[in-house]
Amino acid sequence: MGRGSGVFYGCGSTSIRRGGLLQRCSPRRFRARVAGVFPSSCTALVVLLVSSALVMLLLRKAGDVALRTKTVAGHNLEPTPWHLFPPKEDAVSGGKAESFSRASRILRCSYLTCPASSSFWVATSSSSSLSSRCRKNKGTPNGKTQQRQCPPFFLSIHRDLDPWRQSRISAFTLAAAKEHAAMRVLIVGGRLYVDLYYACVQSRAMFTLWGLLQLLQRYPGMVPDVDLMFDCMDRPAVLRSDYESGDSAGSRWPPPPLFRYCTTKDHFDIPFPDWSFWGWPEINVEPWDEEFKSIKLGSQARPWALKHDVAYWKGNPDVDSPIRMELLNCNDSKVWGAKILRQNWVEEAKSGFQESKLSNQCNHRYKIYAEGYAWSVSLKYIISCGSLALLIDPQYEDFFSRGLIPRENYWPISRANLCKSIKSTVLWGNAHPTE
């Protein structure tokens, strides 16, 4: 304790004994002067005490407000009523908490409140233009050579947005989409605003928004204003049949424009790249750039000839997925040529994810993809392994899977006769190593 705090202490303790703070303190003024940093009279001390009490009160109020404030981490939000999940406190605990808080700090400090980064919002646009590069693949009038074309599967975007081509999107239609949305995202003049309605499971909301913020940072001045409703839970919600046919369907047109991570042929939901492209800390998955590099390295550990000659799947079968349950029945290397392993995420988290590293799962010639509760983010990691990907007839499409070509990028496996279908593919593949 320094001398200053000695004065403070002396004053407080004597006042208790003699009663009356002012009385007892006045003769001791000189000590305060010696200390230099404390008020020169007890009146000032009272002012100090009152003001610090006020500051404390203010801080507590601020704390209350902070506690009640809705955040992208979703601590003060209810889960979406259409897909319930355990409260946030349970999801973010133990070892996961560290990477989670690291991620949220990066997010905050990169984009939200850190003053140093505020200049990023007014950064001027660079000379390359996203919009000129990503128009429909028509001929470009000014010099075809320097223009990079969008991959053909970007054309799916036109199909996704087709329902609103004629009708456009009114505030009324957007309000209908809000009924299924966990958040509303507004981009105006290169700034992102978000209105949070419900919590998203784990850190999905945060990583999804982070993706959008990176887009704004990477293409300053090129991202048009947008007002979109987003549901971050798994299954699509806007059924085509509710809007396309039947007597009442006509009056309901257009359907609500709702973004999410996947869709199906029977839905109007608009697919958006899933959050795991920017990271999924709860299960130790790095952002795509890093994860992809490490998987590529892992895939080179064994040449094809030395990879195990069976089909491999590891995941969580307990996600209300009939196909994954059925897959468990094919777990026999000799009989079905398949090795099916159960992923226990709770155990994995405890042991530091040593057994679930994606880069260590590229040692088999065949990797099976099976949908979970809806689409599965595992698809991109499975395909990155460089093994032959065996895709069990997917029902859901995500943003990128629409670009995959059967028998070129993957081998289709039928749901009927699942084990037999896997076995015959494995046998054929092993017999034709050069194909």
Q: Given the rule CB under 6 A, which residues bind ligand NAG?
A: 328, 331, 340-342
Local structure of residue 280 (DSSP, 8 states): B
Q: Which is nearer to ligand NAG, 283 or 341 (CB)?
A: 341
Q: CB 351 → ligand NAG: shortest distance, Å?
A: 17
Cβ pair 351, 288 in contact under 8 A: no
Q: CB 321 → ligand NAG: shortest distance, Å?
A: 14
- Least Cα distance to 94 among 426, 265, 345 occurs for 345
The pair phi, psi for residue 302, each rounded to 5°, is -130, 135
Q: CB 169 → ligand NAG: shortest distance, Å?
A: 46
Q: CB 335 → ligand NAG: shortest distance, Å?
A: 11
The pair phi, psi for residue 400, each rounded to 5°, is -95, -25
Q: CB 355 → ligand NAG: shortest distance, Å?
A: 12
Q: Which is nearer to ligand NAG, 263 or 378 (CB)?
A: 378
Which pairing describes strands 308-315 and 364-369: parallel, antiparallel, or unpaired? parallel
Cβ pair 429, 366 in contact under 8 A: yes
CA gap 161, 318 in Å, rounded: 34
Cβ pair 206, 103 in contact under 8 A: yes
Cis peptide before 254 (omega within 30 of 0): yes
Contacts for 133 with CB less than 8 Å, ≥ 6 apart? 147, 148, 149, 150
Q: CB 340 → ligand NAG: shortest distance, Å?
A: 5
Q: Which is nearer to ligand NAG, 54 or 328 (CB)?
A: 328
User: Which residue's structure tokens are 């609103």?
Assistant: 164
User: Which residue's structure tokens are 């000189």?
Assistant: 30
Q: Which is nearer to ligand NAG, 88 or 339 (CB)?
A: 339
Q: Which is nearer to ligand NAG, 278 or 369 (CB)?
A: 369
Q: Which residues pair with 410 in a beta bridge?
A: 406
* Tokens at 2, concatenated: 């320094």
Q: Which is nearer to ligand NAG, 188 or 328 (CB)?
A: 328
Q: Which is nearer to ligand NAG, 69 or 351 (CB)?
A: 351
Q: CB 329 → ligand NAG: shortest distance, Å?
A: 10
Q: Which is nearer to ligand NAG, 331 or 363 (CB)?
A: 331
Q: Which residue is nearest to ligand NAG (CB)?
A: 331
Q: Which residues pair with 287 in a beta bridge?
A: none
- Least Cα distance to 232 among 209, 264, 265, 216 occurs for 209
Q: Which residues pair with 185 in a beta bridge?
A: 194, 228
CA gap 120, 123 in Å, rounded: 5
Q: CB 431 → ligand NAG: shortest distance, Å?
A: 24
Q: Which is nearer to ligand NAG, 174 or 341 (CB)?
A: 341
* Tokens at 241, concatenated: 């049949």
Q: CB 366 → ligand NAG: shortest distance, Å?
A: 16
Cβ pair 221, 191 in contact under 8 A: no
